Structure 1
Amino acid sequence: MKTIATISILSLAWLSQSAWAQTTTTPSTIAQTNPHQLHIQSWHLKNGAKVLLVERHALPIVDINVAFDAGSRRDDAQKIGVANFAGSLMDMGAGKWNEEDIRRLSSDWAVTVSSFSDTEQAGIRIRSLSQPQTLQDALKLGQTILSRPTYPQTVLTREQDRAVLGWKQNQTDPQFLSSQAMTRLNYPQHPYGYWAQENEASIRAIKRQDLLDFHHRYFRPSTAVVSIVGDINRSQAQKIATELLADLPQQKLKLPNIAAVPLHKGQTTHIHHPASQTHLDLSLPVISRDDVDYFALLIGNYTLGAGGFDSLLMKELRDNRGFTYGAYSHFNPMAQKGTFSIGLSTQAANAPEALKVTKQVLADYIAQGPTEAQLQQAKNNIIGGFPMRFDTNNKLLGWLSTIGFYQLPLDYLDTYPQKVQALTTEQIRDAWQRRLKVEDLNVVTVGQSLKQ
């Protein structure tokens, strides 16, 4: 089953201006030293939806993301998978159009809409030319897909068949098995770990009415974040956001907070697999989007394992030992604690030593932190390449949606380089020593017997 489905779009008449918003616009604070400054406008509609806009008039294109707090973390623990189907199947039948109608009409208009679902969010993405008639058509289909998905039984059955087939195939994939097992260790009862509990029975248990009920409950304007980038102005963006949400249930929804993540640390799991390579994962929930140590952890990680061939893990495990083609470390910040992870694959005979060396590299880095030269290299790479992270409408749209959904400051992108530049080796070492211990990390190995 697709997690993010991309389909082309079609038609609408220019938006009527019902339900005017509360109009508090807060521009982003621009750092004087940042030549790539952004002006993010933000306001709320009367129905509670948050709108973020960046005007870019160089190209006649408009990109729109509408996200709801309707990801898999909102699933019922007794019926896992409903959120993913409800979000990702919206664009496979809506209003009077079936799947083929949408494809045919969207091809005629050369515009696109995507419905998506992930752990924390679900919604739609739209791309269109800013030419009025084309944009009208795109928004009409986008509004219909968003507010009136039909979830045809034939489509649901087909996608369940695909999901079951994919699940069965994944049971032979060492990396999938490792990720699944690690998620069960990190989030055994938490909603962030629901996907790892899916199986054929749970997939088959989902009914069409479950999708309709989930959509009706969670797709409400009061939880929506509408992000828009492109060749439109504030007035047009106001109309777009209002119209896209107009046909959804307008009653405000008070959602319970997602529970904090209880730590289940220092556990080890080995899964036997006949592959010649053994996959190693080390991981633990550590970081949230609003974490006070966010920059110290993420920027420090460049030196450890995110800096490609320059990283300590790559140098020791690949260059010095020849254990692997690649080793990485990664932070995945979420609303509640997301993971810090280290991963690599190696020959089965090398797996025990590779695991030992990996732990030692991490322990040494936690104890010592980066050198001044290593930190400067990280800063040069991250700050120098930072404008490339939002040099297209699509990239900027992703950032805008993240800022809106996680309630980050509007000047987040403007101040990012300064926050990176201000970091010291002492701050990074202090954060890593406080937040990470090698013995706390959960360990999953998938391969032949791991003889220590």
Structure 2
Amino acid sequence: MKNRCFILLLMLCTSAAASAGPRIASWQTASGAKVLFVRASEIPMADIRVVFDAGSARDGAQWGLAGLTNAMLAEGANGLSGQTISERFDNIGARYGSGALRDMAWVNLRSITETASLAAALSTLAQVLQSPDFPVSALERERKRMLTGLKQREQDPGAKAEDAFYFNLYKDHPYGSPPQGSERTLLVLKREDVLAFYRRYYSARNAIIAIVGDLDQDRAAAIAEQLASKLPAGTKPPSLPPAPALNQTLEVKVPFESTQTHVWLGAPGMARGDPDTFPLYVGNHSLGGGGFVSRLYKTIRERRGLSYSVYSYFIPMRVTGPFIAALQTSNAQAGKALHLLVDTVQDYIETGPSAAELDASKKNIQGGFPLRIDSNSEIVEYLVIIGFYNLPLDYLETYVDRVKAVSLAAIRDAYQRRLHPANLVKIIVGPERAESASALPAAPPPPLRHLHGGGTP
């Protein structure tokens, strides 16, 4: 009996610790980079991610430049070839990666914390960050790869829906430009453009360094100094302009021969750190973020059989990111599915979730939260979000309590203030003969260069 009580107590304590979230330490390097660190001693590994305000929102008219610059960092550095850099990581079992989204670009490293192996991995990573060569031959290879990617997106109806959605929602705002570029812009980018972008945005004061692993804080501080010390000090880039307001409903059809029609519906949503974050997030779990138990799934898929897949989500960003509800359906049912999607979202905005829906959502989110922070790689991603968007350091510790505190009234209030059924972007990608072509009047499409040459990450 005593043993059973002890085991139960241990389980309860472990669950409470997991739901509380990890403790985060934060400081600045001597050169001005912001550091966030969590000690995780369960396995002898370290995950390190260095993030810059250098996403496609900084491309200007040179669409694709942020992605091209980021992809070329490890293609040659400090006289080392891209092949040599790759072999150096492989030979010690380290894993290097990089990427770019609209707000940010990053490099990441996963390595064992054994002294010699970690030192070798960090030495190579520091050269990639601080002394990239941007060889012309590698630029041409990466340009061809990106152009091939654009052609592949032309054959993907989901990608075409995404392209049209972001353009029509954001227009000339930096979020409206295609992160992977267009054929027109990629063909004219030069090494000098890449080098200028790197020098402007890959600087210490524009960097966030997130570290999670089997390290003490002194060792983490030394790693951060090693990675940031030889970066240009630089300055933070100017703030992005506010996202444009949406004051009308836009309906855009993108012709595409396929057996299914892809439908996207959305509007401006929220920025990171928005006071309405938790009411909108918890509410969306009931609306379309909770999978089989969400209202969209039960209404459109389960009861009416109109869609193979239906869901909704918010993408919080530096400035207002989008709210998106989307589905895929047979061409013959596209009009009915879109109308039901609009009606269900509108009804949810007006009435909010039921008490049972809210209770189920809270339990699901709370129960799943420990699984979202149960690995170094997942924690390091949260550190990036916290550091990049200036969220409080106790964000993870207070996460579950903030979910619990969301009320029915708070969800209804937030949705009614933030989403307006009369102001939506509707994108329909499918054949001209699909039901949506007769059920929905066409709106003037955006310029072809946006529908056929751009997109989102």
Matched, 1:378 2:361: yes
Matched, 1:393 2:380: no
Q: Could you say if the C-alpha distance between residues 196 and 60 of structure 1 is closer, same or farther in structure 2, counting changes exceeding 3 Å?
A: closer
Give how far 1:183 is off. Answer: 0.8
Residue in 2 that maps onto 1:260:
242
Q: Distance in 2 between matches of 1:95 and 1:149?
A: 6
Partner deviation per Cα, 1:138-181 (whole Å, 9 max, x = no partner):
11000000011112211111111121122122123211111111
Q: Which runs of 4+ in 1 moved over 3 A?
A: 31-34
Matched, 1:285 2:268: yes
Residue in 1 that maps onto 2:97:
114
> What letter corresponds to residue 377 of structure 2 in structure 1?
N
Give how far 1:197 is off. Answer: 8.7
> What letter corresponds to residue 208 of structure 1 in structure 2?
R
Matched, 1:75 2:59: yes
Q: Could you say if the C-alpha distance between residues 126 and 198 of structure 1 is closer, same or farther in structure 2, counting changes exceeding 3 Å?
A: closer
Give how far 1:33 is off. Answer: 9.6
Residue in 2 that maps onto 1:306:
289
Residue in 2 that maps onto 1:51:
35
Q: Specify which of 397, 421, 430 is matched with residue 447 of structure 1.
A: 430
Matched, 1:214 2:197: yes
> What letter corresponds to residue 357 of structure 2 in structure 1?
Q
Residue in 2 that maps onto 1:14:
none
Preserved CA contact (<8 Å) 1:128 1:138: yes
Preserved CA contact (<8 Å) 2:169 2:267: yes
Residue in 2 that maps onto 1:19:
none
Preserved CA contact (<8 Å) 1:116 1:124: yes
Q: Which runs of 5+ in 2 are unaligned?
A: 1-12, 440-457
Residue in 2 that maps onto 1:173:
156
> What letter corresponds to residue 120 of structure 1 in structure 2?
D
Q: Distance in 2 between matches of 1:388 and 1:254?
A: 34
Give how far 1:248 is off. Answer: 1.3
> Which secondary structure state, in structure 2, belongs to the residue aligned with residue 315 of structure 1?
helix
> What letter corresponds to residue 119 of structure 2 in structure 1?
Q
What is the aligned length?
Answer: 420
> Which secondary structure state, in structure 2, belongs to the residue aligned with residue 344 of structure 1?
strand
Where do 1:52-451 residues align within 5 Å? 52-77=36-61, 79-195=62-178, 198-250=181-233, 252-264=234-246, 265-449=248-432, 450-451=437-438
Q: Which runs of 5+ in 1 are unaligned?
A: 1-30
Residue in 2 that maps onto 1:41:
25
Partner deviation per Cα, 1:302-360 (whole Å, 9 max, x = no partner):
11101111111111111111111110001000010001001111111211111111111
Give how far 1:32 is off. Answer: 13
Q: Distance in 2 between matches of 1:254 and 1:175?
A: 35
Partner deviation per Cα, 1:3-46 (whole Å, 9 max, x = no partner):
xxxxxxxxxxxxxxxxxxxxxxxxxxxx9994224211111123
> What letter corresponds to residue 438 of structure 2 in structure 1?
K
How large is the RMSD of aligned CA atoms in angstroms? 1.6
Preserved CA contact (<8 Å) 1:89 1:115: no
Q: Distance in 2 between matches of 1:82 and 1:275?
A: 32
> Which secondary structure state, in structure 2, belongs to the residue aligned with residue 412 of structure 1?
coil
> Which secondary structure state, in structure 1, belongs to the residue aligned with residue 155 of structure 2?
coil
> Which secondary structure state, in structure 2, belongs to the residue aligned with residue 438 of structure 1?
coil
Q: Could you say if the C-alpha distance between residues 32 and 293 of structure 1 is closer, same or farther in structure 2, counting changes exceeding 3 Å?
A: farther
> Which secondary structure state, in structure 1, belongs to the residue aligned with residue 243 of structure 2?
coil
Q: Distance in 2 between matches of 1:254 and 1:381?
A: 39
Partner deviation per Cα, 1:101-131 (whole Å, 9 max, x = no partner):
1222222111122222221111211111111
Residue in 1 that maps onto 2:5:
none
Q: Could you say if the C-alpha distance between residues 317 and 84 of structure 1 is closer, same or farther in structure 2, counting changes exceeding 3 Å?
A: same
**Of the two structures, which has the highest relative contact order with CA contacts closer than 8 Å and spacing of 6 or more?**
2
Preserved CA contact (<8 Å) 2:67 2:179: no
Q: Distance in 2 between matches of 1:324 and 1:103?
A: 44
Q: Distance in 2 between matches of 1:301 and 1:116?
A: 28
> Which secondary structure state, in structure 2, belongs to the residue aligned with residue 184 of structure 1?
helix
Residue in 2 that maps onto 1:5:
none
Q: Distance in 2 between matches of 1:124 and 1:276?
A: 39
TM-score (norm 2): 0.89
Q: Could you say if the C-alpha distance between residues 111 and 254 of structure 1 is closer, same or farther in structure 2, counting changes exceeding 3 Å?
A: closer
> What letter corresponds to residue 451 of structure 1 in structure 2?
S
> What letter corresponds to residue 402 of structure 2 in structure 1?
K
Give how far 1:198 is off. Answer: 3.1
Q: Distance in 2 between matches of 1:197 and 1:96?
A: 28
Partner deviation per Cα, 1:182-230 (whole Å, 9 max, x = no partner):
1110111111121169321211111111111111111111111111101
Residue in 1 that maps onto 2:453:
none
Q: Distance in 2 between matches of 1:245 and 1:136?
A: 15
> What letter corresponds to residue 180 of structure 1 in structure 2?
D
TM-score (norm 1): 0.90
